[in-house]
A and B are shown apart, each in its own frame.
Chain A
Amino acid sequence: MNGFITLAAGFTAGLCAAMGLGGGFVLMIYLSWAGMAPADAKAANLLFFIPVALVSMVMNHRSGLTDWHIVPYAAAAGSIGAVIGLLLTDVLPTDIMQKVFAALLAAVGAREMFHRKRRDLEREKRENFEI
């Protein structure tokens, strides 16, 4: 049973991570259920994500979904942000940060979930016309 749950968790986390759909959260939920300490779960999640993202990146590149001109800028800024985030974990109260982050997730989620399809299509049409 445990082996099956591990397989299912790994597959679901990989699937969601490759689609940019929050695979990290899926894995974090599984790891905390499996009894792993939060700091180890955080590291395990990141270690898991690296090869999974690599596979996904190669396939997304073949599908023409990645613009490599922009990635270095976002990645460089993201790496600086990650170092700042790591340093902040020693300073900021984790419970309050967790609540703030949860509220932010819900707000962004609501925006994504209830977006207007028509407005997106109009914007796409306008951009195609401009190009």
Chain B
Amino acid sequence: MKAMKNISKTFAAAAGFAGGVLNGIFGAGGGSVTVPVLEAGGADARTSHAMSVAVMFCVSAVTVFGCIIKGNAPFAEVRELLPAGIAGAAAGALILRRADNSVLRRIFGALLIWCGGRLFFA
């Protein structure tokens, strides 16, 4: 928590804005920008990832509203995925609580490179 207090509100807003634009365009990937911006602002990796989830929760609520207005609302498919998703979320939060900051950053980096490669050659 100590590291979080050093982040200015402007910096946090910039992180949220950048993540929001990406989430609005692609429906995913907001955290890929929010996390590094929060880290650059002085937060450690674990708090940046946790904060990113909280910010993306609010952003996703806005984006999903826009999608529903446009007529895209696949509730049935999501209902099938949710029980396992909730279990995964609980496991993920427990792992995040004990995760090493440096290892977390390296795993995040590897995943981003993989996703970037997939997306580029899609």
Which residues on A are within 8 Å of B, measured CB to CB?
6-22, 24-25, 27-29, 31, 34, 36, 39-57, 59-60, 63-67, 70-71, 73-89, 92, 97-99, 101-115, 117, 120, 123-124, 127-128, 131
Q: Interface on B for A, CB 8 Å cutoff?
A: 1-7, 9, 12-36, 42, 44, 46-64, 66-68, 70, 72-75, 77-78, 80-97, 99, 101-102, 104-120, 122
Q: How far is the CA of A112 from the CA of B104 in the complex (A)?
A: 9
State the Cβ distance, B44 to closest chain A Cβ, in Å. Answer: 7
Asked if B28 and A7 make an inter-chain contact with CB atoms under 8 angstroms apart, the answer reads no
Q: Does B84 contact A14, Cβ atoms closer than 8 Å?
A: yes
- Kindly list chain B residues whose C-beta atoms are within 8 Å of the C-beta of A12: 88
Tell me if A's interface is mostly helix, strand, loop or mixed.
helix
Q: Which residues of A contact B75 (CB under 8 A)?
A: 47
Within the complex, what minimum Cβ distance (angstroms) separates A114 from chain B?
Answer: 7
B interface majority secondary structure: helix
What's the Cα separation between A123 and B41 when bound, in Å? 12
**B115 contact set on A, CB distance < 8 A:** 22, 25, 102, 105, 109
Cβ–Cβ contact A56 & B21, under 8 A? no
Contacts known (A6-B81, A51-B82); A19 close to B74, Cβ less than 8 A: no
Q: Is the CB of B60 within 8 A of A105?
A: no
Ordered nearest first, which 4 A-B pairs have the shortest CB separation?
A85-B24, A81-B20, A14-B88, A113-B109
